[in-house]
Structure 1
Amino acid sequence: MATGPGRAATAGGRDRRVLLGILFMCISAMIFPFMNGLVQILSRDYPSEQIIWARTASHLLVALLWLLPSQGVSALRTRRPWLQILGSVCLITSTAMFFIGVKSVPLAKAAAISFTAPFFVALLAWPFLGERIRGSRLLAVAIGFAGVLVVIRPGLEVVQWASVLIVGSAACYGVYQVVARRVAGHDRPETSVMYSALVGTIIMSAIVPWVWVTPKTGLDALMMVGLGVLGASGHYCVVRSLAYAEANIVSPFQYAQIVGSVAIGWAISGLLPDIYTWIGSAIIVAAGIYIAITQTRRTPAASAVFTERPIRPD
């Protein structure tokens, strides 16, 4: 078996791609709390459907202004159209559930519940991506969901439906990440960013005329546009991350959102998370980190899945 400089260079290149994937996921984790904070502010005066539409439509506008001058219609050229549509539907469903739920749930608590997304990734990555999961990782998933129960405390809150919506949002987002990783071997990240905005905008444009409320101030309109700018930037980083590294490795690094969510939630409401949110978050994060560490020990068969038709990351 070869063990010379060529093999070392290959391993070094793989390690560099993993680190880049982690970096992009961490950047996305710094962006999304700002977007969620804007959602909470806008939800005081505008219907959720309009906020979701503003998020997707401004995302599409940003993507068009960014990609069309340099790539033209080739930005929409995909080798896996049905996977792109499936991922986009999962993403808009996740967005809708989260935006509706976060109206009634503190930002840090909502972020903690959304941290279950990597567990759904872990459960789905084996059948769909070939990233194997062992019994110990299944146990970690179960422990992570126990942490969610600590955060939610079923039966002790008035607004249980909102927490359930955020769990549903995490499940849809987990599916989206798995689909994005599957597509990453065939389409450029820019194509996925474009489709995620296009499909959501088409769906929400059929709904928003029935609930439309004209923005009361220029600042409100600017915040609505800001949703798309932040969302497009965050999801580009997610897609870029998944193009560099396996979903089970990079997805737990979205836990960094808890820092921004606590800070922005405190700035908006003046409240800090209760002890149960901190304890549950710690359980969820610990379980997710365990999954991330053990998942890096890949089998050759699993690794081969990601050497098939890789995209250029630049």
Structure 2
Amino acid sequence: MSDDHAAGQNRPMAGILTRLGAMLSLGIMFAFVKLAGQHGVHVTESLFYRQLTAMPLICFLIWRSQRGWPSIVSNKHRLHILRSILGIFAMGLNFWAMTLLPLADATTISFTVPIFATLFAALILREQVGIRRWSAILIGFIGVLIVIQPGGSLIPAFGAAVALGGALVTASVTLVIRILGRTETSVVTIFWFSVYTLPALTVCAFIYGGGHDAQTWGYLLGIGIFGALGQLGVTQSLRYAPVSTIVPMDYSALIWATIFGIAIFGQYPGLSIWFGAPIIIGSGLFIAWREHVRASKQTIASASESV
């Protein structure tokens, strides 16, 4: 990380507030996704407008960046394509889960992403995972079992499976992004994600899309606008504060999912959510903290070696 970027990360309150705003925007987007689904909008059509609306914002960020358009040049296109394939499947499953489940239930299950990501990092990237993080992974899965209650849950089994599938694929995306992050900025990664996914989504929108009333078009516009704002907020928050400071703010998404679920859809979280969500969130926070400790030790070790 450059000294300028590190200096820019000395605004923790700005980072926290920006991340909270991003979670609110994404919560509104998912509410629009669910409303659009109830009005017959196909998931791929929602994805199309989500990506289409984000593209001008991404281009603006690249234009305003220090290097400008030359920064999009990359020799990692195979990884960008892999990230795009996995990313669009992950986004599609997450959107679909929001239409199948109450917002709070789908959001809670999505919190398993850091648990799966840590598991995949150990199994695929061969990262060293100590007993503490293995314990957090195990405890997190216990929380999942409490929420889903296999065989006796009020949560539809198919919807829960879709949500877990979305979390699994999203976790795999984080591994690819971690590799890309060694040479690519987040904005450039998002740019190529849009470039590689929009053509296929355009075809899908042409096949599955149709005429809508003004209200439904408003939902699709909301998906695009608030999805883009959420994406901007997530990216911008990383410029204000370190990951370890802002990641805990992501769990505020459950607050908005619960509020919107009750106010818009009349869906109240079941008891299993109140018991399981704190376990899943606690596991995720502990993993994030251990990642921070591990990164700090590596930084100190690298500094010592350079002396």
Which residue, 213, 224, 231 being the options, matches 2:227?
A: 231
> Residue 70 of structure 1: CA displacement?
4.8
Does the 8 Å contact 2:122/2:129 carry over to 1? yes
Matches within 5 A, 1:235-250: 235-240=231-236
2:246 is aligned with 1:258: no
Does the 8 Å contact 1:181/1:242 carry over to 2? no
Aligned to 2:211: 214
Aligned to 1:152: 148
> Residue 138 of structure 1: CA displacement?
1.0
> Residue 108 of structure 1: CA displacement?
0.5
Which residue, 264, 270, 287 being the options, matches 2:266?
A: 270
2:93 is aligned with 1:93: no
Between 259-268 and 188-197, report the one with greater CA deviation: 188-197
1:289-312 alpha-carbon deviations (Å, 9 max, x no partner): 2222222222677448999xxxxx
3-state DSSP class of the match of 2:38? coil
Which residue, 31, 36, 46 being the options, matches 2:25?
A: 31
Aligned to 1:4: none
Matches within 5 A, 1:1-314: 16=10, 25-45=19-39, 46-64=41-59, 66-67=60-61, 70=64, 73-74=69-70, 76-125=72-121, 132-156=128-152, 157=154, 159-217=156-214, 219-240=215-236, 251-298=247-294, 302-303=298-299
Between 276-285 and 249-258, report the one with greater CA deviation: 249-258
For residues 166 and 305 of structure 1, the distance between their equivalents in structure 2, rounded to whole angstroms, comes to 39
For residues 15 and 125 of structure 2, the distance between their equivalents in structure 1, rounded to whole angstroms, comes to 17
Taking structure 2 as the reference length, what is the TM-score of the superposition? Answer: 0.81
Does the 8 Å contact 2:148/2:155 carry over to 1? no
For residues 79 and 15 of structure 1, the distance between their equivalents in structure 2, rounded to whole angstroms, comes to 28
For residues 297 and 202 of structure 1, the distance between their equivalents in structure 2, rounded to whole angstroms, comes to 41
Structure 2 vs 1, CA of residues 281 and 260 (structure 1 numbering), >3 Å: closer, same or farther? Answer: same
> Residue 182 of structure 1: CA displacement?
3.0
> Residue 28 of structure 1: CA displacement?
2.9
> Residue 84 of structure 1: CA displacement?
2.4
Does the 8 Å contact 1:107/1:265 carry over to 2? yes
Between 140-149 and 291-300, report the one with greater CA deviation: 291-300
Structure 2 vs 1, CA of residues 285 and 70 (structure 1 numbering), >3 Å: closer, same or farther? Answer: closer
For residues 236 and 155 of structure 1, the distance between their equivalents in structure 2, rounded to whole angstroms, comes to 40
> Residue 114 of structure 1: CA displacement?
0.3
3-state DSSP class of the match of 2:192? helix
> Residue 186 of structure 1: CA displacement?
2.0
Let me know the Cα RMSD of the aligned residues: 3.4
What's the % identity of the aligned pairs?
24
> Residue 25 of structure 1: CA displacement?
4.3
> Residue 106 of structure 1: CA displacement?
0.2
1:36-77 alpha-carbon deviations (Å, 9 max, x no partner): 00001000122222222222222224434x347657743632
> Residue 91 of structure 1: CA displacement?
1.9
> Residue 144 of structure 1: CA displacement?
0.7
Does the 8 Å contact 1:112/1:258 carry over to 2? yes
For residues 24 and 132 of structure 1, the distance between their equivalents in structure 2, rounded to whole angstroms, comes to 32
For residues 205 and 252 of structure 1, the distance between their equivalents in structure 2, rounded to whole angstroms, comes to 35
Does the 8 Å contact 1:122/1:248 carry over to 2? no
Does the 8 Å contact 1:53/1:204 carry over to 2? yes
**Tell me, which stretches of 5 or more residues in structure 2 are unaligned?**
none
1:109-165 alpha-carbon deviations (Å, 9 max, x no partner): 100000001112222345777864211211111111111111111223473111111
